[in-house]
Chain A
Amino acid sequence: MKTIRHALLIARKDLALELRTKESLNAAGAFAIVILVLFSFAFEETEQIKEIGGGLLWLVFAFAGALIFNRSFARELPNDCLDTLLASPLSPASLVTGKALANFVMLLAMELISIVIFGIFFNVNWTRHIGELSLVFALGTWGISILGAVFGALTVNLRLRELMLPIIIYPLLVPLLIAAIELTKLLLSNQSMTPNDFLWTKLLIVFDVVFTALAMLLADTILVN
C-alpha cells in the first residue's frame, strides 16, 4: 500500500517536471513523427501497410521509448536528488514502480499521437477494434515501461548511458514486441481474435507480471550501491 502511494507520488512529480520542461516528450514525439514520415517513403500506401503497420508502430514506440527512459533516472542526477530520495523512507521498489508509471503515461501519450498520425498518413482506420487495441497497447506499454525504468536505474551512473540502455533492453523486449506486433497487426487488418491469438495476450500478461515482480525484487540491488 505504502509502495503504491509512494510510487504515485514519484510518478506525479515526474509528470509535473516533464510537463514543465517537455524534455523527453518533445524529443520522443518529434522522433516518432519523423520516423512515420520516413516510413511513408519506404512503403507504398496499400493493403501492405495493414500487414506491416503493427510492426512499424511498435518499432516506433520502442525507439521513442528509449528517449523517454534515458531521461527517467537521469532526471534525478542534478543536485544528487537520487541520493536524497534513497535516503528518504521511499523504498527502491516504489521508486522504480513510480518511474515505470511515469514512463507508461508518457509513452502512451506518445503512442496516441503516433497512431493518429499513422491513421492519417497511411489511410488506416484503427478505431474499429479500439477496445482490444487499447488493451494490447496498455499491456505492451507497461512491459516496455517497467524494463525501461529498471534499466534506466541500472545504467544511470554508467558512462555511455544513452548507448547502453537500448543495447540492453531491445533484446530483452523481443518476446513482448512479437506478441504486441502480432496482435496489433490482427486488429489493424480488421480480423477478430481467435483462441490462438489469446496466447499472445497471455504472453503479454506473463511478461508484464514476471518483469514487474523481478523489478521490485531487484530494485534494492540495482539502486543501493
Chain B
Amino acid sequence: MTSAIELAGVWKFYGDYAAVRDVTLNVEEGSCCALLGRNGAGKTTLLRILAGLSSFERGSAQLFGVSPRQAHAGFLGHGIGVYEDLSARENLHFFARVAEVAQPESIAAEWLERVGLANASDMLVRQFSRGMRQRLALARTFLHTPKILLLDEPFTSLDDRAIAMLSELLVESRRRGATIILSTHQLREAMVIASHVALIENGRLRHAGERTEAMLDDPGLLYRLHA
C-alpha cells in the first residue's frame, strides 16, 4: 500500500504555544481515517495544515509526495464555502473553473442534478434553505473528484438528507480509490465509515491504527484505552 498522506514530526505553534505537537501520521491510499479528539485538541489545525491553509514550523507534510498547497484536496471546513450573492450554478461554475476541471459547465450542471438542486440552480444562495446550502457545499467539495478529501466535522451541521448524501458520496469516493480524512466527535458515525482511526489529545497523536470490530461495538473503547 502506498501512503497518500505522510506527516512527519509536524509542529504548529501559536506564539510559544504548540497547537500540534510532533505529529507523525501515515494514511494509506484509499483508506478513510477518522480524526478523533476533544474540542481544541488540534483536529481542525491538523486538517488546515493538510489543506494548505496553515503553515507549520517544524516537520514535513506531504500528500502524494507534494506539499499540501500543491495537492488540491477537496476541503470542507466549518463554513460552506459558497457565495451568498451568486446563484448555485454560478457558484459551482466558478469553483469548477478554479479547480481546473475540463468542461466546467457540464460538470456544474451534473452536480446540481446530483444534489437535487437542478430546479433551484438559478436561485441565489441567499434565498436557499439550510439544507439546500449544505447540499451545494457538498457539490462544491466533490465536484473536481479529488484524490484526497479533508472534511472538518462534516456531520455536525447537516440535515438528514445531506447526511445521507454525504455518506453516499464518501462510499462512492472510496470506491474510486480516494483517501478521506474526517474529523468528528460523533463516535458512532465515525466508526461506521472509518477504516482507520487517529486520536489526538492536546495536539499530540495518542493512537493511530485500523478501526477494529471491537471499536464498532463499543465506540468509547478508543478513549478508554488511549486517552
A residues bordering B, Cβ < 8 Å? 6, 9, 13, 16-17, 20-21, 78-81, 83-90, 224-225
Contacts and interface: CB of A to CB of B under 8 A. Distances in A.
Contacts of B150: 87
Contacts of B95: 84, 88
B55 interface: yes
B54 A90 contact: no
B82 A81 contact: yes
Contacts of B84: 78-79
Interface string B16-40: 0000000000000000000000000
Contacts, number: 74
Given A87-B52, A87-B53, A80 B98 contact: no
Contacts of B53: 83, 86-87, 224-225
Given A84-B95, A87-B51, A224-B55, 12 more contacts: A13-B83, A13-B94, A16-B86, A80-B77, A80-B78, A80-B79, A81-B82, A83-B81, A84-B77, A84-B81, A84-B82, A86-B52
Interface residues of B, number: 29
Given A79-B80, A80-B78, A89 B99 contact: yes
B79 A88 contact: no
A225 B78 CA distance: 17
Contact of B83 (A9, A79, A87, A88): A79
B82 A79 contact: yes
B77 A83 contact: yes
Contact of B98 (A6, A79, A83): A6
